[in-house]
Structure 1
Amino acid sequence: MDGPVLPSPGALSAHRPPPDTGVRVTGGLFGRWLDVNRAGSIPLALHHLETSGALGNLRIAAGLESGSFRGPVYADSDVHKMLESAAWQLQHTDHDTELSTFLDEGARLLARAQEDDGYLDSHYQVAEPERRYARLVDSHELYCAGHLLQAAVAVHRTTGGTELLTVARRLADHLCAVFLDDPGPGLDGHPEAETALVELYRVTGDERYLALATRLVERRGHGLVGRHKHGTRHRLDHLPVRSAPSVTGHVVRALYLEAGAVDVAVETGDKELLAASAARWTDMAATRTALTGGLGSRQVGEVFGERYELPPDLAYNETCASAASIQWSWRLLLATGEGRYADLLERTLYNAFAAARSADGRTYYKGNPLQRRPDHAEAVGDPRCRDEWFYSACCPPSVTRLVASLPHYATTTADDTLFLHLYAPMRIACTLPTGQVALRVETEYPWDGTVRITVEDAPGGDWTLALRVPPWSARTRLDGEPVTPDAQGRLLLRHAWRAGDEVVLDLDMTPRLTAAHPRIDALRGSVAVERGPLVYCFEQADQPAGTDVDELALPAGAELRVTHVSDLPGVGRTVRIEAGAETVRAPHRDGLPYLSPDTPLERRPATATAVPYFQWDNRGDGAMRVWVPVTY
């Protein structure tokens, strides 16, 4: 089973996806997500490719239909991302006629729509043929091309098919002819082609694709994107990639650029470029990341905002940004082998990313705030509930393609060590230098912290099984005995393993209160509830009558009580957490919402119930908050 990122044999990469790997999810939450992906999300997305005009645009470009272009200029990317989604999803089923047909027909349609010189972008072919590469700051031409290249790589790796790969190579050859030599027409305002070109290089071995990816990365920060109303920072053209100290501007653009920079760095052996990207990741994690792993403090411009600007209610935390964050963290994990990247990847996956899609897989959020007040719809004119599709529909297919490729992010290898980064019921088979290894993983993670790993096949001689211990596990046990992970947060178990050997990892799932850094003004004096990898939220639907979520406060030493629920209507399996809390009310002085510091407040005891943040808004619209004031 292949995945989206496979460094070449000579790459500067501390870890690699296992060679000849087979990772099969056999149940649990990941299994549910994959089932929902296939049964709900993907069929609905294919329907919307038709109703939105995305497929129709390509048919017009191919001369199969007549009409006008519909949708945003980057509508092609929705088709490309769904082709990639379908390819990865096919790995989880022995036969799927619908998805196979979509891949075959999609490849033929794109081949027919492609121009003789390799150019392929239906907006500019149909609506503005005279403006090819004329306004790269907003055109998304290379962005769309990048998603097509990634789709072609996915189809080739999963099915062996070459028709879409041929289209992708012709397009990439065209891009090399136009952009590889000076002076070139400039840079696309939305990075994406960089990482895609590197992956196409990894599949084909054509060094021109790596050279173009390198050129696109190196030319950033030199004013080549063009003027934009949001300025050069928004379009990531204010500083060269090697010298920019922090991520800034449009979040998704920035993270796609970082993924491309890491890919270029590992394939060219450029340690300086890799270190620059890693330094920005460190700053981002420390100063610009929501508790859920969400990124993007401001909906206006979809940007990062300032350091420690992390409002719970106004933050955007776009779904595409969460997917892009996972992609960047994964590449840095492969490049460096450092455990901190897996820690943020898991946090983002289970919280900011997972919250974007409804439990039935049919609706999505673009933005994922950490608080919603009961009168939100009245205030903004839109309840911002999830929707099936959007005019700018980047987020739904970003979810489906990442979920479809989830097993890719579970394991890596380094020499004769097999690392487990994500825990789910699954079977793993891969080849180490010592021979074939097969494991069975049994767990109810993230609801329970026990992970049982059974060796089903092992070569002769010693090899190492490395188990990730997340930083929140305060008391970790292995086979019943207390253990301490190494500096990278791992347990390295080296043995001459034999079939039938078993280890049991017990992670500490004690619920905990978390406080924000004091420089985060919007969260000062507040706490949040976490358990294992999950961030919790207080949703109005779970509170007793008369208890308003917006009036809740938690004592600093609140007792947190865990209740397992096998099937919460609209949500499914979950774990609730109850806490002794209170509601805090106050009068309005002079009709204004301000008081003197010594004004007595009305406090009443209450029981507050929290559910995992990723499961919110599956039981009707209502108020929600992650952070609540703390009382002492």
Structure 2
Amino acid sequence: MIFQTTTTTVHAVPVAPSNGALRPLGLDEVRITGGIWGRRQEVNGSATLAHLEHWLEREGWLANFDLAAAGAGGAAELVARRRGREFSDSEVYKTLEAFAWEIGRRGGDDELEARFRRIVERVGAAQEEDGYLNTRFGRPGQPPRWSDLEWGHELYCLGHLFQAAVARFRTRPDADDGLIGIARRAADLVCSVFGPGGDERICGHAEVEVGLAELGRALGEPRYVEQARLFVERHGRGTLRDIEWGRSYYQDDVPVRDAEALRGHAVRANYLASGAADVAVETDDAELRQVLGRQWRRTVERRTYLTGGQGSHHQDEAFGEDWELPADRAYSETCAGIASVMFGWRMLLAEADPGYADLIERTLFNVVETSPSAEGTAFYYANTLHQRVPGAPAEADAVSPRAHSSLRAPWFDVACCPPNTARTFASLAGYVATADEHGVQLHQYAPAEVRTRLADGQEVAFDVDTTYPASGSVRVRVLTDASSPWRLSLRVPPWAAGAEWRIRGVEGGTEPWSPAEPGVVTIDRPFAAGDEIELLLPMAPRFTAPDPRVDAVRGCLAVERGPEVFALESVDLAGTALEASDFADLRVDPAVPPREDAGRVLVTLVDARTGARDEVPLVRYHEWAERGPSTMRVWLPVLGV
């Protein structure tokens, strides 16, 4: 269903630029029907959302809004009972966003709708008359409003509120729960306080830029986009206090236009880049867009892990310098991966460069999907590439420190990652495909139904049939006769040398296989109902060598198969000739290529001390630690090096 308001068509998309090379297809146009992402969406909707709601209630982060509402009249003892960190409001807003996308994905769920509305009611009760909304600041017994923009996260929280409202507007534009009005009043206050001639500081954690830009797009309010632009341009002016890690931590060291790569806190950096991309598109700022493209390319080349993870510093959750990518100290925060997807998607829509979709795929499979357990009720905050000692199981009913990555935990004292994964999975269909004046582009491969109309009004409908990445076969079956030719574009990842494609036409028969070079395959024709297009991607496991400038893993190899990174996990040594070996003594034999047998990827390992050798199975990185405590490594030292 395509949603209609009195004046415009509303598509259920996370990002809706007013211009650009590609138009995103939303949850009303794309439905994931199975496969790894279909399973994850089902788990997310049936288990993760309830898990989030339970912990937000249990930890008092939802009750903070009740206390704020009750304490608005001066009851300082009430607001003094507030619980959680200064940014805990944002976890409620991200959960609301996840609820909104899930309601849109399901096409209606009375029970989920009722839960959503109850939370919105509690949030709205805490909003003050002028639109201010935060449970940590501004009431008797609390610090004044806007008094700690370095660490207070007031604007950051509002940015997530705005994104929740956008999700609600785009999935239920005529909803009467009040969330959109709550967001509008808060955004009006932000424009009043921080607009031209007002407070010229920025928030220490970028996010309000993204929220304002998208809210402005959704509601047709240019003031919000302009305020997002002001915040983006104010970065680098040194308006925030310096700290021990330097102003680069919150991207206040140099202007956005002067930066060579993303730097500082990895989540902040990607959120700011996402907001800057929104601003560049909405203001037709080609210079800014080109700057962001250069920053993205250098960051991917020199500051991004094989998994797509970003951030190599634990102390400040930050990017390191170029080539500073230690496997055993990889922070690779889940939220940084999600923010990277947000940035890459915006650049893909603007420029149509498939490289952005390549990194999105890598990050989805090897960071975002790695964080939640199979049951969707425990999570990684950080995503190491090398676990030296077996981890300790997290208590099922206890809050865990955020940087522990030894085993997944149900909740964290800083619990940004669980609701962030939830909102991403609930909206994932919005990152699968796009359209332009020529046709439709498939960027991510999953079983799916695609139903849309092109700019000329022509209806396009097709189904995607695939078990990717279990196999490399992707079949697109056209369901409608074309009134005129249109173009289907299929992404071919850079690792897929030797890929092929062909058409099984209902009239012309099966055409021979044609080579599909990495990049994009395009097929232009007046498609007929029943036409099938098949893309065959080679999925043999392969060794990957690191760039020699990455000191920490020089002399190592990793194993990949398709978009998935694999890892050696100690539990898989049981029953092999290496069972008694010290994990640190194991070396991979580069002369024996990795192979696949009965769905398992195997490599030949040698004990460098004893000479014992055997073939050992590897595990998909996103599945590691599902079988209990273990040691693990992605980069395997090479025999003889």
Q: Same fold (TM over 0.5)?
A: yes
Q: Is 1:157–2:170 an aligned residue pair?
A: yes
What corresponds to 1:580 in structure 2? 604
1:547–1:606: 8 Å Cα contact kept in structure 2? no
> What is the number of residues matched between the two proteins?
601
| 2:190 equivalent to 1:182 | no
Match of 1:338 in 2: 353
Residue 263 of structure 1, CA deviation: 0.2
Structure 1: tracts of 5 or more residues without a match: 565-574, 586-601
What amino acid does structure 2 have at the position aligned with 1:461?
S
TM-score, normalised by the number of residues in structure 2: 0.91
> Does 2:528 correspond to 1:498?
yes
Contact 2:240 2:252 in 1 (8 A): yes
1:436 positional shift: 0.8
CA contact (8 A) 2:33 2:448 kept: yes
Question: Deviations along 1:424-447, whole A, 9 cap, x unmatched?
Answer: 111110111341111111100011
Paired residue for 1:618, among 622, 626, 635?
626
Distance 1:124 1:165 in 2: 22
Once residues 629 and 146 of structure 1 are traced to their aligned partners in structure 2, the CA distance between those partners, rounded to angstroms, is 44
Q: Say which is worse superposed, 613-622 or 222-231, in terms of deviation.
A: 222-231
Are 2:99 and 1:86 equivalent residues in the alignment? yes
Is it true that 1:405 corresponds to 2:427 in the alignment? yes
SS of the residue 2:280 aligns to? helix
Between the aligned partners of 1:116 and 1:252, the Cα distance in structure 2 is 32
CA distance in 2, matches of 1:424, 1:20: 14
Identical columns (%): 40
- Name the residue aligned to 1:595: none
**d(CA) in 2 for partners of 1:240, 1:36:** 42
Query: Is 1:609 aligned to 2:617, yes or no?
Result: yes
TM-score (norm 1): 0.92
> Is the contact made by 1:343 and 1:470 (CA closer than 8 Å) also made in structure 2?
yes
Contact (CA 8 Å) 1:292, 1:535: kept in 2 or not?
yes
Question: What letter corresponds to residue 7 of structure 1 in structure 2?
Answer: P
Q: 1:203 Cα shift? A: 1.0
Query: C-alpha offsets along residues 240-298 of structure 1, whole Å, 9 cap, x if unaligned?
Result: 01111111111100000000000000000001111111111011000011000000011
**AA paired with 2:442?**
L
| Maintained 8 Å contact 2:187/2:212 | yes
Q: Is residue 492–residue 517 contact of structure 2 (8 Å, CA) maintained in 1?
A: no
Q: How does 1:232-631 map to 2 (within 5 A)?
A: 232-374=247-389, 384-434=406-456, 435-479=458-502, 481-485=512-516, 489-544=519-574, 545-564=579-598, 575-585=599-609, 602-631=610-639
User: 1:529-578 deviations in whole A, cap 9, x for unaligned?
Assistant: 000000000111112332443322112222322134xxxxxxxxxx4211
- Structure 2 counterparts to residues 174-253 of structure 1, below 5 A: 174-184=189-199, 186-253=201-268
Alignment partners' CA distance in 2, 1:363 and 1:376: 14
Q: Which amino acid in the other structure matches residue 516 of structure 1?
A: P
Paired residues of 2:387 and 2:406 also in contact (CA < 8 A): no
Quick check: 2:498–2:516 contact (8 Å CA) kept in 1? no
**Structure 2: segments with no counterpart, 5+ residues:** 1-10, 394-400, 503-510
Q: Which range moves more in the overlay, 19-28 or 535-544?
A: 19-28
SS where residue 631 of structure 1 aligns?
Answer: coil
The answer to whether the Cα contact below 8 Å between 1:61 and 1:125 also exists between their aligned partners in 2 is no
Which structure 2 residues correspond to residues 25-36 of structure 1 after superposition, within 5 A? 25-36=32-43
Q: Given residue 412 of structure 1, which amino acid in structure 2 is its aligned partner? A: T
Higher mean displacement: 104-113 or 497-506: 104-113
**Cα 1:19–1:299 shift into 2, 3 Å:** closer
Distance across 1 between alignment mates of 2:349 and 2:105: 24
Q: CA RMSD in A?
A: 1.9
Please state how far the C-alpha of 1:384 moved relative to its aligned partner: 3.1
Distance in 2 of aligned mates of 1:472 and 1:52: 45
Task: Give the Cα separation in 1 of the matches to 2:468 and 2:593.
Answer: 23
Asked if 2 retains the 8 angstrom alpha-carbon contact of 1:57 and 1:126, the reply is: no
CA contact (8 A) 1:69 1:127 kept: no
Given that residues 475 and 482 in structure 1 are in contact (C-alpha distance below 8 angstroms), is that contact kept between their aligned partners in structure 2?
no
User: Helix, strand or coil for the counterpart of 1:441?
Assistant: strand
Cα distance change on mapping 1:133 and 1:93 into 2, 3 Å: same
Is structure 2 residue 64 aligned with structure 1 residue 22?
no
CA contact (8 A) 2:392 2:407 kept: no
